[in-house]
Amino acid sequence: MQSLPAITLRPAEPSDREFLSGLSPRLSGVPGPAWHDLAAMEGFQSRYMAATFAAADKNAQTLVAWSGDGRRLGYVHMRPGKDGVTDEPCGYVSLLAVDKEAEGSGVATKLMAAAEEWARARGYRFLSLDVFADNRRAIDFYKRGGFGSETLRMVKPL
């Protein structure tokens, strides 16, 4: 694990596009369902990214984390959503990824703290997200941050 001197966050700009899509293999490469191969995970990620950034929600926000020496380290994308039980407005973290080099150095913690701050500032009671059930590292990270499981989607390959 390396420690970074200073991590700053700023809203994503058009010039960050390549960096954001460059982290897609990090997201499609997480431990996924046994019944989907890497090509299926890549296809999912690519469609999901395209849909997320095509949705012109002015209340959505993408934050990019920077190192003190000017390297992009990771990003988070959050948008307004609806609570699955009460239907009330809540925050939704659609994407979170950290560059392999920067993993384990507190970047994601900082990005999630900003997502939480964003959700609180909008008056939401909840912040939610989806994560693949086998993505243990991410799940443990979210649990340490105070998230709990609400629903679990079950699939039977036929």
When the beta carbons of 115 and 138 are compared against ligand COA, the nearer one is 138
At CB < 8 A and 24+ separation, what contacts does 32-41 make? 32/132, 32/134, 32/135, 33/132, 33/133, 33/134, 33/155, 35/155, 35/157
The two most distant CA atoms of the chain are separated, in Å, by 51
Quick check: helix, strand or coil at residue 121?
A: helix
Find the binding residues for ligand COA in span 125-154 (CB under 6 A). Answer: 131, 135, 137-138, 141, 144
26 lies in the binding site for ligand COA (CB under 6 A)? yes
Evaluate whether 110 touches 139 at the Cβ level (below 8 Å).
Answer: no
Q: Which of 9, 16, 106, 122 binds ligand COA (CB under 6 A)?
A: 106
User: Is residue 1 near ligand COA by the rule CB under 6 A?
Assistant: yes
Interface pick for ligand COA out of 27, 90, 119, 127 (rule CB under 6 A) = 27
The yes or no reply on residue 46 touching ligand COA (CB under 6 A) is: no
Q: H helices within 106-154, ranges in order?
A: 107-121, 136-144
Query: Closest distance between ligand COA and the C-beta of residue 107, in Å?
Result: 5
Interface with ligand COA: number of residues (CB under 6 A): 20
> Is 127 in a helix, a strand, or coil?
strand
By the rule CB under 6 A, 105 interacts with ligand COA: yes
Which parts of this chain interact with ligand COA (CB under 6 A)? 1, 26-27, 30, 96-98, 103-109, 131, 135, 137-138, 141, 144
